[in-house]
Amino acid sequence: MKCRYCKAPLEHTFLDLGFAPPSNAYLTEADLNKPEIYYPLKVKVCDSCWLVQTEDYAEADALFTPEYAYFSSTSASWLDHAKHYADQMIEKLNLNRKSFVIEVASNDGYLLKNFLHRGIPCLGIEPTRSTAAAAEKLGIPVLHEFFGKALGERLAIEGKQADLIIGNNVYAHVPDINDFTKGLKAVLKRGGTITLEFPHVMRLIEQAQFDTVYHEHFSYLSLYTVSRIFATAGLSIWKVEELSTHGGSLRVFGCHQEDSRETQPSVSAVLEEEAVHGLQQLQTYVTFQTRADKIKDDLLAFLVEQKRAGKTVAAYGAAAKGNTLLNYAGIKPDLLPFVCDAAKAKQGQYMPGSHIPILAPERLESAKPNVVLILPWNIAEEVMQQNAFVTEQGGKFLTAIPSVKVHECGFC
Ligand SMILES: [Zn+2]
């Protein structure tokens, strides 16, 4: 296999998680009697451009059905993050009724509604029917398509170039990152701004976030590599912000290469930080597996210990990252009898691979487990606050990343 960006041969493995079902392929009760398809889950690193990327596997297309059940609006902290971002951009870019904003992967309209409320024309691009329908109900126009060079060029011809193009948590999910970036270039108005948010591979490595690896996630990105991909497409990055979302993300600000905007010191600062973290050294990548394995072993040992001691355990948050962790560790309902999740669409279903049932959060109140494993560790604080009764009734919270940790009170 060749690197998706620079086409150099991929010779080094970053992480091999064996085989796993798609992390968003939640199962119904009827599905439990059917065979389940497992795909290889292996991540390589390119030693020429340092793009960390999922290895290709057969029948990948079957994975990406447009019925993905995740609705962005279910996380309160993510909604706050979106509102704050929109207010900031409207002010800094002087956006008004004559401006045009495009969001790629606009989901249920969680972000664009903030622009709509301020009277700024916008367009969402979202192939997933259920989430796109939710956005349309809010009055946001949505194109039900995948974004790439062809769509970017078509919109440009239709006179729909944007002053601001937003891509939050989509860049890492794109199989053809060069084609996607060319699409951004095509649909960007002269003088316009692109902002992309994606998990920072530097934080993934630093905090051993191996559970954020799943099939739908094609790339794990650094500023260094994204700068190179942008340059190839005729774009440049003039500013970058480090965010705490998703365990540590980057928000990069792009513009046309010929734009006169000055590059801000934040760009060289993050590039320097990445170099210090060894992101351009092979050793940093090839030692990651051992660290992931230690977490898996520690978690398994902890759960077995609880079972032998007669303690009860449950999990909170039926997140994709939880499926990666549970499947890699081989955890089944005997060690973890149920997972609670606030998203009604997931309740009554089962986790792929592990077949652990997903129940409403109220179940934690009646079952009173001794330990609650928080799978989406990135919102652990929010979960502990919303479910403070767990500690009040004598239970403890547990997180597995960056290392297995029992939280003695609800706020540490
Ligand atoms: Zn490469």
Residue type, 392: E
Residue 45 alpha carbon to ligand 1 centre in Å: 8
pLDDT, one tens digit per residue, over 390-411 is 999 999 999 999 999 999 865 5
pLDDT, one tens digit per residue, over 110-130 is 999 999 999 999 999 998 888
Using DSSP, state whether 86 is helix, strand or coil: helix
Mean pLDDT of 74-90: 89
How is 294-346 classified by DSSP, letter by letter? Answer: HHHHHHHHHHHHHHHTT--EEEE---HHHHHHHHHHT--TTT---EE-S-TTT
How is 263-288 classified by DSSP, letter by letter? Answer: PPHHHHHHHHHHHHTTTT-HHHHHTH
What per-residue confidence (pLDDT) applies to 35?
95
Neighbours of ion ligand 1 (CB under 5 A): 3, 5-6, 8, 46, 48-49, 51
For the record, the structure tokens of 155 come out as 């919109």
pLDDT, one tens digit per residue, over 302-327 is 999 999 999 999 999 998 899 999 99
What per-residue confidence (pLDDT) applies to 71?
66
d(CA 351, CA 23): 8
**Mean per-residue pLDDT over the chain, rounded:** 94
Residue 225 alpha carbon to ligand 1 centre in Å: 8
pLDDT, one tens digit per residue, over 135-179 is 999 999 999 999 999 999 999 999 999 999 999 989 999 999 999
pLDDT, one tens digit per residue, over 261-279 is 999 999 999 999 999 999 9
Residue 325 alpha carbon to ligand 1 centre in Å: 27
Residue 25 alpha carbon to ligand 1 centre in Å: 30
Residue 250 alpha carbon to ligand 1 centre in Å: 20
What per-residue confidence (pLDDT) applies to 390?
93
Q: Where would I find the beta strands (DSSP E) of 21-150?
A: 39-45, 52-54, 101-104, 122-125, 142-143
What per-residue confidence (pLDDT) applies to 247?
82
What per-residue confidence (pLDDT) applies to 66?
55
Mean pLDDT of 178-184: 98
Please determine, for residue 39, whether its predicted confidence score (pLDDT) is greater than 60: yes
What per-residue confidence (pLDDT) applies to 57?
75
Mean pLDDT of 53-66: 71
Least confident of 189-198, 210-219, 328-337: 210-219
